[in-house]
Structure formats: structure tokens, C-alpha cells
Structure 1
Amino acid sequence: EAGNLALQLAAMPTRGLWLTKKLLNASANNNLQAQLDMEEQLQGEAGNTADYREGIDAFLNKRKPQFKGV
């Protein structure tokens, strides 16, 4: 089961996963406004990645995305 999970995670947009983990870890110490500010900043960062563009293109073309971790 751990091997399957590793394969699933590897097929996902790794930069997006890293940003999500960063937000989750910060939420333990941030107040609401600080967390919302951080989410806004990192959402903008995520939206500028090749993986984001690949995800949108794959969705629009009804195909499985091929994320590269960038």
C-alpha cells in the first residue's frame, strides 16, 4: 500500500503538493489573516508553474495530465 501511495504522489504536481504541505504546517501557528495572506501568495506562485498550465490543458482536452514537477 505504501508503494501505491508513493506512485500516486509521484504522478501529482509535486510543487503543488509542496506548497500545500507548507500551508498546512504554517496553519498551526498562523492566525486567520496571516494564513489567508500566505494562501494568496502561494496560490499565485502555484498558478505560475508549468504543472498548473499542464493541469488546465489536460482538463480542457479531457486527458490525463503529465506533471513534471516544475
Structure 2
Amino acid sequence: MHPAAHRQGLRDRVVTDRGVLEVTDGGLVLVGTAPGVTAAEITAATDAALTLAEPLDEGPKEPKEQQ
């Protein structure tokens, strides 16, 4: 993260179809998962080491059906 952005409280995030990762000085932090996706599934599918946020926003357990 650019130092000026850090001073302003801005965060770098990576948003995928499976979850949301925050880029920190200490590495990637999994902050949320998509409905129906577990943190274990994301960790298994990612080559980079991930830290799990406390609390982790796991969203609804099952995807909502479209009407």
C-alpha cells in the first residue's frame, strides 16, 4: 500500500467471486466470503498464505435464490 494512502486510512482490497482479501503490510487477510463459500475452500484454492480476519464475514450460508 502506498504510504500516503495508509495515512489517509485507505485500504487495498482484492474482490473475487469467492471472497474479499485485504492487502496489508503483513500479507493477505481474508475478510469475507461469498455466500456458500467457506474460508477453507478459499485457503485451499489460494497459493498465497492467508490470515483470517476476526471476525470473518462469512455471509449467508446458502446463496439466495433469484426471483
Query: What TM-score do the two structures reach when normalised by structure 2?
Result: 0.25
Query: What TM-score do the two structures reach when normalised by structure 1?
Result: 0.24
The structure whose Rg is larger is 1
Higher strand share: 2
Higher helix share: 1
